Chains A and B, each alone.
Chain A
């Protein structure tokens, strides 16, 4: 009994203290993975903020963006051109979604819009496969994926790039939504379509803008994940990892997506490395979900979410 307590509560911390540079490496790895989760979670947050709808298709949008980019590059286009074209495709997709899926469903219950995104999910998955095939593809947009030593600590260049990109993206989005009128307009649309229309908010424009931005965020996430693990259909499943991030951070908070991603990324790495051997490993696979479950019990609105107020 005493030895078990020791192994859980004392041993891992002694390990951390005995090799601080290794601890820093683990932390950095966790932060980088966490930011990659955040990138996916951001796409969800944007659409949730604008329509109060959980976009089930966000994971597939990441995959679709990565597939399109790789497909265009395989056709011999330079990276920059392929990237611009992919952006155009995602914006076109936003227009199509607004026209075909969202517009006919204005003022419907949120659950109906949610189901529409499930449909969108299957459509995009099939459409992507039809256009670009189902093989695993290597995505090389020129981000170096080598390790290097900085002050005695081993860091991965790809992870550094991912962290930098996420930081830039979040800054831009934060300014876009908090310093501009569109932020206030977004909140009104999420709260009540009818009322938003009555005060002159053009719902269609807002939706196209937000889905376009979510599409661009999907491209960034697709590039990062594609560079890390290849472009393949399992990429759409990282959406599953974004879900606990959202529960932790709150569905409508951009900073929440970042902090949630970091907590989960760092937590699962630390848990895996220091406590993993105790339970035979694989902590990384369930840590996020257990943490999310705990949050649902204690603070269902997440760290930064808005408390839902309902007068009955």
Chain B
């Protein structure tokens, strides 16, 4: 973090984020890629060009007669922000569910950090360092924001849970250490004012932010966001975009997200993968995808109308 290069990167975005930051990024995508490789936080040298963090190889998912995903091969590269886009029903959420272990492919492989993990269950996937959020916010509604974030730390807590009860010293120290991490995330996401509020009482936009916080509390290597900006107004989208970019640059977290807002997608992602009818029809930088004929036909063409 103390590396001047890292600061150079955030310097390329005006401080304070917001529209300026996002716009600044769009206008100069090359600059970002140039500095991204040198970011120490993003997994060392050659972050984006190095071996991919996660690979799906010919992954197919079937629900009865419906082929939800058909031989999807995709790379999520270390340190990048990858957007997965596509019309409704294209299989985006299914892909996310496969990666996070909620569904299992009937053919194909999933390789994470060089090791195959195709058939792992969700808790085991989470233990590998993959955190996610859900399309319809899945917070623990009765718990306070702080408690919700603390649940994200459950995996990080060590020791036998029976011993926790008896060994006051270590257990207490551990609780405090985890609390400190959560406090940092609360500051980072600017949700100090609502820390004691039950999550179910919050407006939707804030719930999404808290859910992001819970995922961050697990200090994931790979963060999967399912429509993090759905149902938000422009201002909330700008805030969320800024948080996502900051997570990526400050913590070096690799992020794969599903998003429908094309403006946001083009602004915040390093690469874009396009799904349509369960197949991957394009993959590349926002610029490449924007010009791709298959994409225009399947997706952007339709919205331009």
Contact = CB atoms under 8 A, between A and B. Distances in A.
Contact of B151 (A179, A188, A202, A311): A188
A46 to B, nearest CB: 16
B45 interface: no
Contacts of B131: 198-199
Interface string B137-157: 011111100010011101101
B218 to A, nearest CB: 6
Interface in B112-165: 121-123, 126-127, 131-132, 134, 138-143, 147, 150-152, 154-155, 157, 161-162, 164-165
Given A203-B123, A311-B200, A311-B201, A198 B138 contact: yes
A309 B131 CA distance: 26
B198 interface: yes
B254 interface: no
Given A179-B164, A200-B127, A309-B198, A194 B154 contact: no
A194 B102 contact: yes
Contact of B214 (A180, A199, A202, A311): A199
Contacts of B132: 198
B100 interface: yes
Contacts, number: 86
A205 B133 CA distance: 23
Contact of B218 (A195, A200, A308, A310): A200
Q: Which of B122, B126, B164 has the most CB of A within 10 A?
A: B122
B218 A184 contact: no
A197 B142 CA distance: 17
Given A194-B134, A311-B200, A200 B142 contact: no
A184 B165 contact: no
A215 B147 CA distance: 29
B122 A197 contact: yes
A182 interface: yes
Contacts of A181: 154, 157, 161, 164
A308 B131 CA distance: 28
B70 to A, nearest CB: 25
Interface residues of A, number: 26
Nearest to A310: B200
A151 interface: no
A199 B124 CA distance: 10
A200 B155 contact: yes
A250 B132 CA distance: 33
A176 interface: yes
A192 interface: yes
A198 B161 contact: no
Nearest to A178: B165
Nearest to A308: B142
A310 B199 CA distance: 10
A310 B155 CA distance: 29
A197 B147 CA distance: 16
Contacts of B134: 194-195, 198
Nearest to A189: B140
A15 interface: no
B140 to A, nearest CB: 4
A311 B204 CA distance: 10
A175 B122 contact: no
A200 B161 contact: no
Given A184-B151, A197-B102, A200-B155, A309 B161 contact: no
A180 B123 contact: no
B164 A198 contact: no
A283 interface: no
A200 B138 contact: no
Contacts of B143: 187-188, 191
Contacts of B198: 309
A192 B140 contact: yes
B110 to A, nearest CB: 16
Contacts of B123: 197, 200-203
A145 interface: no
Given A194-B138, A199-B154, A199-B155, A180 B164 contact: yes
B165 to A, nearest CB: 4
Contacts of A195: 134, 138-140
Contacts of A129: none
A185 interface: yes
A74 interface: no
A184 B147 contact: yes
Given A188-B151, A199-B151, A309 B142 contact: yes
B88 to A, nearest CB: 21
19 contacts: A181-B164, A182-B161, A184-B151, A187-B140, A187-B142, A191-B140, A192-B139, A195-B139, A197-B126, A198-B132, A198-B138, A199-B126, A199-B131, A199-B151, A199-B155, A200-B122, A200-B126, A200-B155, A202-B121
Given A187-B143, A198-B134, A310-B200, 7 more contacts: A181-B154, A187-B140, A187-B142, A187-B147, A188-B140, A194-B102, A203-B123
